[in-house]
Amino acid sequence: MTDFGIKKALQELGLKDLNNGTATGSNHFSNGEIIESYSPVDGKLIGKVKATTKEDYEKVMEIASKAFISFRNIPAPKRGEIVRQFGNKLRQKKGALGQLVSYEMGKSLQEGYGEVQEMIDICDFAVGLSRQLNGQTIPSERPGHLMREQWHPIGVVGIISAFNFPVAVWAWNTALAWICGDVCVWKASEKTPLCAVACQHIIAGILKENNLPEGISCIINGDYKVGEMMTKDSRIPLVSATGSTKMGRIVGTTVAQRFGKSLLELGGNNALVITPSADLKVVVPAAVFGAVGTCGQRCTSTRRIIIHEAVYAKVRDAIVGAYKQIKIGNPLDETNHVGPLIDQAAVCNYLTAIEQAIAAGGNVLVEGGLLEGEGYESGCYVKPAIIEAENHFQIVQEETFAPILYLIKYVGEIENAIEKQNGVTQGLSSAIMTNEMKEAEKFLSYAGSDCGIANVNIGTSGAEIGGAFGGEKETGGGREAGSDAWKVYMRRQTNTVNYSDELPLAQGIKFDL
């Protein structure tokens, strides 16, 4: 393993004997092929799980569907109590789970801890929300009538999550789904399966302690073929999928064909706009963390910085200078800022993107490349790169899940920067750095950023769970976490109650017998 306590963390999470395979759903074991999880940190085998077969999947769905019948009848505040217990257990396991996230995915240890904190935060949010799943009373045009809305559990929620946030995105979905009365079947990324198994161990223990059905929370393992079982299954009314735009197109189309609902959180090509009045003390840390945090593998990572020509040279030099201070290495060592990419396929995509940017006419300011030698044996460590580019370059128009930052110049008014910001097919996160109120308000107006997230004087990355998270255009339009995102996990029902002795019809229609 490593010298950073991973063995101890695995034991604390109940993952000390992973070479014999593990469960796909609670206590039901798979007969599928072996999936090996290697750490991008040091290239070592962490453990093995078994992929879910069609037979295994049917068992999981049978268990989950049965659990829903009883779970939906439990009062919402009581369901919130289960989520409260889960959040408290996460507080106890934060150190161990955060280390596993860091080791299996490759993000810095601080980001690993932060991801588990996101899980805790969404649990706290959901517990309070469990007493506020409110409908509304609607005035009726008919005398002696009452109209109202109710929200009911939707059923089995399918969750497909990505490797870059191997536990938090699942928690965003499942904490809300549980308090809404739904049960969940989770297909984690095959690149980070052990994080999913660890979470399942935690919640399975809580369900057992409360004498609740194990099918309230199930996991399935495998590649896209396992995900297809879920997207094609009419027993799953909602599929929440996080990943690439390519994946989202397939999931959204497949689920729509059976009239199911999909919650899509897809690609981002996020820009940070720097105006002449921007404060460099705020700009530099926001830009650098946004670009290199999680080694550029966040959906909200800063891909483009759009800088006014009047301050372009000053901002460019400050960011380039800051890159010289970045420390790259084992993410479990807290003195390092940046860890590895998830695997060598991601490295190939990164190197190809740099080549394409140069071929298009880009000017390299901070050279990228693969890091080799002691400490980089996994072959997944790369250098964050900065390239001067034009917004219309094809590679700039695409999302590259790696630490490549494009600097783009704009001239004239803020509207010109907004046009460049919006001039990509993705619409997840955006930000502006300005001390001019008019510029900030224009950026946030209906004619401003077309993204689901628009920030002022903070970066594109680092959302809180209190607000709804998600984006527009090819980002998919889904919303998770805070605000009223809970409504997607429920079905709306309009009720009309006649407490009079007459039967007046709406719109004044007469129907006399």
Tokens 């206590």 belong to residue: 27
Closest CA to 203 of 217, 185, 213: 217
CA of residue 391 relative to chain centroid, distance: 26
What pLDDT, on the 0 to 100 scale, is given for residue 335? Answer: 95
Is 439 marked active-site?
A: no
Q: What would the two tokens of residue 249 be?
A: 């197109």
Give percent of the chain with pLDDT exceeding 70. Answer: 96
pLDDT at 358 over 50: yes
The tens digit of pLDDT for each residue in 375-391 reads 999 999 999 999 999 99
CB 242 within 8 A of CB 209: no
The tens digit of pLDDT for each residue in 285-331 reads 999 999 999 999 999 999 999 999 999 999 999 999 999 999 999 99
How many angstroms separate the CA atoms of 89 and 94, rounded? 8
Task: Classify residue 405 as exposed, middle or buried by CB count within 10 Å of its CB (0-12, 13-18, 19+).
Answer: buried
Confidence band (pLDDT; 50, 70, 90) for 18? low
What's the rounded mean pLDDT across residues 161-186?
98
Write out 136-188 in H/E/C secondary structure: CEECCCCCCEEEEEEEEECCEEEEECCCCCCCHHHHHHHHHHHHCCCEEEEEC
The tens digit of pLDDT for each residue in 107-131 reads 999 999 999 999 999 999 999 999 9
**Strand boundaries in 243-327, DSSP class E:** 261-265, 270-274, 302-308
Mean pLDDT for all residues in the chain: 95
- CA-CA distances (angstroms) from residue 490 to 103, 180, 187, 498? 36, 7, 21, 26
- Is the torsion defined by CA of 390, 395, 399, 402 positive or negative? negative
pLDDT at 413 over 50: yes
What pLDDT, on the 0 to 100 scale, is given for residue 17? Answer: 55
What's the rounded mean pLDDT across residues 58-68?
97
CB 364 within 8 A of CB 385: yes
Closest CA to 197 of 341, 340, 100, 59: 100
pLDDT at 40 over 80: yes
Is 199 marked active-site?
A: no
pTM for the full predicted model: 0.95
Secondary structure of residue 295 in the 3-state scheme = helix
- CA-CA distances (angstroms) from residue 244 to 115, 298, 391, 401? 20, 12, 21, 10
The tens digit of pLDDT for each residue in 220-266 reads 999 999 999 999 999 999 999 999 999 999 999 999 999 999 999 99
What pLDDT, on the 0 to 100 scale, is given for residue 320? Answer: 98
What pLDDT, on the 0 to 100 scale, is given for residue 260? Answer: 98
What's the rounded mean pLDDT across residues 161-183?
98
pLDDT at 29 over 70: no
pLDDT at 3 over 60: no
Contacts for 74 with CB less than 8 Å, ≥ 6 apart: 181
pLDDT at 512 over 90: no
Confidence band (pLDDT; 50, 70, 90) for 4? low
How many angstroms separate the CA atoms of 145 and 378, rounded? 69
pLDDT at 432 over 80: yes
What pLDDT, on the 0 to 100 scale, is given for residue 14? Answer: 87
Contacts for 438 with CB less than 8 Å, ≥ 6 apart: none
Among residues 299, 380, 399, 451, which one is catalytic? 299
CB 40 within 8 A of CB 339: yes
Q: At what angle do helices 76-105 and 168-179 cross, to 10 degrees?
A: 170
Secondary structure of residue 494 in the 3-state scheme = strand
Among residues 214, 265, 439, 474, which one is catalytic? 265
Beta bridge partners of 146: 497
pLDDT at 103 over 50: yes
Confidence band (pLDDT; 50, 70, 90) for 23? very low
Q: What would the two tokens of residue 279 be?
A: 């404060």
How many angstroms separate the CA atoms of 292 and 106, rounded? 13
